[in-house]
Amino acid sequence: MRKKLVAGNWKMNKNVVETRELLSALASGLDSVGGAERALCPPFTSLFVAAEALTGTGIGLGAQNMHWEEKGAFTGEISPSMVKEFCAYVILGHSERRMYFGETDETVNKKLLAAQKADLTPVVCVGETLAQYEAGETRQVVVEQIRAGLQGVAPEFAPRIVVAYEPIWAIGTGKASSAENAQAVHGEMIRPTLSELFGEEAAQAIRILYGGSVNAANAADFFAQPDIDGALVGGASLKADEFIAIAKAAAE
């Protein structure tokens, strides 16, 4: 039985003062939802205060990105061990990083292997554009992103990987995928590809999250699907009541 994971991606929102405010609004409601794993991914500059605030709660912390190298002349980058100082999770290959910052399946793969080495739980994002969706290319795109992005992983690490299926047309648009469509992508495209790569047992252990306009009203529909193992939540994770409601839906 896969324990559901609900992760909040704050993107480039919340300075330190605002982080403290949101965490205090979230903490008690979220801490009591033990039936689902919960993680919050604030910006790098808020990780230190968030780590302090979340100590002793059951809520995990994640970074939104990292470099694959351990140290050196990479101005503006953050290394895996720097992330590991504060975090248990790291989001890799979010579509906004692919779209605006030149992230590719190859860089995602390097980061994934670095996460493995640093003992971080990676949340690897995949998903098609609207044009690809409309052209019926979802399978081809998602399968290729998984094959290229997840290659070379050690068999014992594979079950730790979390995959987030995030159709780009659903991110921040208020137009979520239907739960049935997301289930089909998870169950008929992503999990069989994971099985090809890592074997059926590992594929059954890997959590596949859905992301794209998840909110308190639609979360339960997604979580009722057999291959939807949680959610990566953007906009709604910035609203304490919404995010707590989503976590509660995952815990049921």
> Which residues are 38's β-sheet partners?
6, 59
Token readout for 76 is: 């503006």
DSSP secondary-structure letter at 187?
I
Nearest to 91, CA basis, from 199, 231, 228: 231
Among 33, 203, 214, 246, binds ligand PEP (CB under 6 A): 214
166 catalytic residue (yes or no):
yes
Question: Interface with ligand PEP includes 126 (CB under 6 A)?
Answer: no
DSSP secondary-structure letter at 235?
G
Q: Contact region for ligand PEP (CB under 6 A) — 17-25, 26-34, 189-197, 209-217? A: 209-217
Among 4, 5, 8, 9, binds ligand PEP (CB under 6 A): 9
Among 34, 152, 172, 226, binds ligand PEP (CB under 6 A): 172
Find tokens 């469509």 and name the residue: 181
Q: State the CB neighbour count (10 A cutoff) for residue 56.
A: 7
Token readout for 151 is: 């290659």
Strand 37-41, strand 162-165: pairing: unpaired
Q: How far is the CB of 200 from ligand PEP (least distance, A)?
A: 28
Among 40, 182, 235, 250, binds ligand PEP (CB under 6 A): 235
Q: Contact region for ligand PEP (CB under 6 A) — 81-89, 105-113, 197-205, 231-239? A: 231-239
Q: Contact region for ligand PEP (CB under 6 A) — 58-66, 98-106, 191-199, 234-242? A: 234-242
Task: CB nearer to ligand PEP: give 163 or 233.
Answer: 233
CA distance 106 to 98: 11
Q: Contact region for ligand PEP (CB under 6 A) — 58-66, 144-152, 164-172, 188-196? A: 164-172
CA distance 223 to 147: 25
94 catalytic residue (yes or no):
yes
Among 234, 242, 248, 250, binds ligand PEP (CB under 6 A): 234
Token readout for 169 is: 């047309």
Q: State the CB neighbour count (10 A cutoff) for residue 180.
A: 9
Question: Interface with ligand PEP includes 219 (CB under 6 A)?
Answer: no
Question: Interface with ligand PEP includes 213 (CB under 6 A)?
Answer: yes
Residues serving a catalytic function are 94, 166
